[in-house]
Structure 1
Amino acid sequence: MIGLPDNDDWYSTPRSFVEKYKKPLLYALAVIITLGTILIVFAIIHAHPSPREPLCPKIEPLVPTFNRSIDTILNDPTYKKQSIHRLSSAVKIPTVVQDNNPSPHDDPDFYYHFQEFQDFLKLTFPLVHSQLHLQKVNKFGLLYTWQGSNDTLAPLLLMSHQDVVPVNEATLSEWEYPPFSGHYDPETDFIWGRGSNDCKNLLIAQLEAIEQLLADGYAAPERTLLLSLGFDEEASGNHGAKHLSEFITNKYGNDSLYAILDEGEGIVEVDKGIFVAAPVVTEKGYVDVIVTINGHGGHSSIPPDHTTIGIAAQLIAALEDSPASKAFQFHDDNPVYGFLTCTAEHSESISKKSRNIILNAIKKSKKTLQALTDFLVNDSRLRDLIRTTTAIDKIQGGVKANALPEDTSFLINHRVDLHSSVNKTLQSDIDLIKDIAKKFNYGVSFMGETLLEETELGSIDIIFERPLEPAPLSPHKGPVWDILTGTIQDVFQNGVLDEDEDIYVTTSLFSGNTDTKYYWNLSKNIYRFNPSIIDEDLAKTLHSVNEHVDVPGHLSAVAFIYEYIVNVNQYGNSD
Structure 2
Amino acid sequence: MRVPVILTPILATGAVSRSVSFLGQTPIGDQHQISNGNTLTSIDAPGDDVCPLPPKVAPPNDGLHSSLDFIQDASYRSKQVERLSRVVQVPSTSTELEDDPWSDYYAPFLDLHDELTKLFPLVHSYAKVEKVNRFGLAYTFNGTNSALKPALFMAHQDVVPIDDPNDWTYPPFSGHYDGQWLWGRGSSDCKNTLIGVLSAVEDLLKQGWAPTRTLVLSFGYDEESKGWKGAGCLAEHLEKRYGKDSFEFIIDEGGMGIQTIGDKIYAMAGVGEKGALDIHISLSIDGGHSSIPPPHTGIGIISEIIYHLEREQLFTPKLDLSHPSRQGLTCQAKHSADFVEPWLWPALESSDYTGLAEALAASRGDRVRFLYQTSQAADLINGGVKINALPEKINATVNYRVAIHENTDIVRARAINIITPIAKAHGLTFSAFGAGDKPQPNNHLDISDYALPLEPAPISPTSPSDAVWTRMSGVTRQFFESLPESGNKTVLVVGDVMTGNTDTRFYWNLTRNIWRFSPIRPDGTKNIHTVDERIDMAVHLEGLAFYYELIRAFDTYED
Mapped pair 1:79 → 2:79: no
CA contact (8 A) 2:475 2:553 kept: yes
Correspondence for 2:276 among 281, 286, 290: 286
CA distance in 2, matches of 1:77, 1:375: 44
Aligned residues between the structures = 514
Query: Which position in structure 2 is the counterpart of 1:343?
Result: 332
Q: Which residue of 2 aligns with 1:434?
A: 420
Alpha-carbon deviations, 1:471-523, whole Å to 9, x = none?
01111131110121111111110135344333211111120001111111111
Residue-by-residue CA offset, 1:400-421 (whole Å, 9 max, x unaligned): 1111110100111111110111
Greater C-alpha Rg: 1
User: What are structure 1's unaligned runs of at least 5 residues?
Assistant: 1-41
2:6 equivalent in structure 1:
none
Mark the CA change 1:309 to 1:240 in structure 2 (over 3 Å): closer, same or farther.
same
The share of aligned pairs that are identical, in percent, is 38
Residues 1:522 and 2:510 are matched in the alignment: yes
Distance of 1:254 and 1:314 partners within structure 2: 47
Question: Which residue is 2:549 aligned to?
Answer: 563
**Match of 1:142, SS?**
strand
What is residue 10 of structure 2 aligned with on the other side?
none
Q: Which moved more, 1:54-63 or 1:389-398?
A: 54-63
Which is richer in helix? 1
Q: Note the C-alpha offset of 1:372.
A: 4.2
- Aligned 1:38-57 pairs, distance under 5 A: 52-53=47-48, 55-57=50-52
From the superposition, tell whether residues 369 and 312 of structure 1 become closer, same or farther in structure 2 (CA, over 3 Å).
Answer: closer
Q: Determine which of 164, 167, 175 is the counterpart of 1:174.
A: 167
The one-letter amino acid of 1:500's match is: N
User: What is residue 394 of structure 2 aligned with on the other side?
Assistant: 408
In structure 2, what is the Cα distance between the partners aligned to 1:502 and 1:493? 6
Which deviates more, 420-429 or 456-465?
456-465
Q: Helix, strand or coil: the match of 1:532?
A: coil
- Kindly indicate whether residue 432 of structure 2 is the aligned counterpart of residue 446 of structure 1: yes
User: Residue 468 of structure 2: which of 480, 487, 490 is its match?
Assistant: 480
Check conservation: 2:170, 2:176, Cα contact below 8 A: yes
Cα deviation, residue 60, structure 1: 2.2
1:573 offset after TM fit, Å? 2.6
Q: Which of residues 221, 225, 233 is equivalent to 1:243?
A: 233
Is 2:195 the partner of 1:200?
Answer: no
Match of 2:136 among 141, 146, 166: 141
Matches of 1:430 and 1:50 in 2, distance apart? 46
Query: Residues 9-20 of structure 1: matches in 2 within 5 Å?
Result: none
- Aligned pairs for 1:253-268 (under 5 A) are 253-268=243-258
Q: Deviations over 1:161-195 (max 9, x none)?
A: 000011222xx443222211111111xx1111111
> 1:275 and 1:176, CA in 2 relative to 1: closer, same or farther beyond 3 A?
farther
Q: Which residue type is aligned with residue 355 of structure 1?
A: P
- Which stretches in structure 2 are left out of the alignment for 5+ residues? 1-30, 32-40
Paired residues of 1:280 and 1:509 also in contact (CA < 8 A): yes
1:191 corresponds, among 170, 182, 185, to 182
Other structure's SS at 1:184 match: coil
Paired residues of 2:319 and 2:356 also in contact (CA < 8 A): no
Q: State the alpha-carbon separation in 2 of the partners of residues 270 and 162 from structure 1.
A: 30
- Report if the CA contact (8 A) 2:313-2:414 is conserved: no
In structure 2, C-alpha distance between the alignment counterparts of 1:118 and 1:473, rounded to whole Å: 34
Equivalent residues of 1:270, 1:347 under 8 A apart: no
| CA pair 51-231 structure 1, distance change in 2 beyond 3 A | closer
Structure 2 distance, partners of 1:184, 1:55, is 45
Contact 1:74 1:496 in 2 (8 A): no
Q: What amino acid sits opposite 1:64 in the alignment?
A: P
CA RMSD, Structure 1 to Structure 2 (Å): 2.3
Compute the TM-score of the two structures, normalised by the length of structure 2. Answer: 0.87
Letter in 1 for 2:260: V
User: Are residue 459 (structure 1) and residue 444 (structure 2) matched?
Assistant: yes
Match of 2:25 in 1: none
Within 1, Cα distance between the matches of 2:151 and 2:138?
Answer: 13
Residue-by-residue CA offset, 1:32-53 (whole Å, 9 max, x unaligned): xxxxxxxxxx9xxx99978712
**Equivalent residue for 2:203, pick from 193, 199, 212:** 212
Partner Cα distance (1:297, 1:50) in 2? 67
The question of whether the paired residues in 2 share the 8 Å contact of 1:222 and 1:573 is answered with no
CA 1:498–1:458 in 2, change beyond 3 Å: closer, same or farther? Answer: closer
Aligned structure 1 segments of 4 or more residues deviating by more than 6 angstroms: 46-51
Instruction: Give TM-score, length-normalised by structure 1.
Output: 0.85
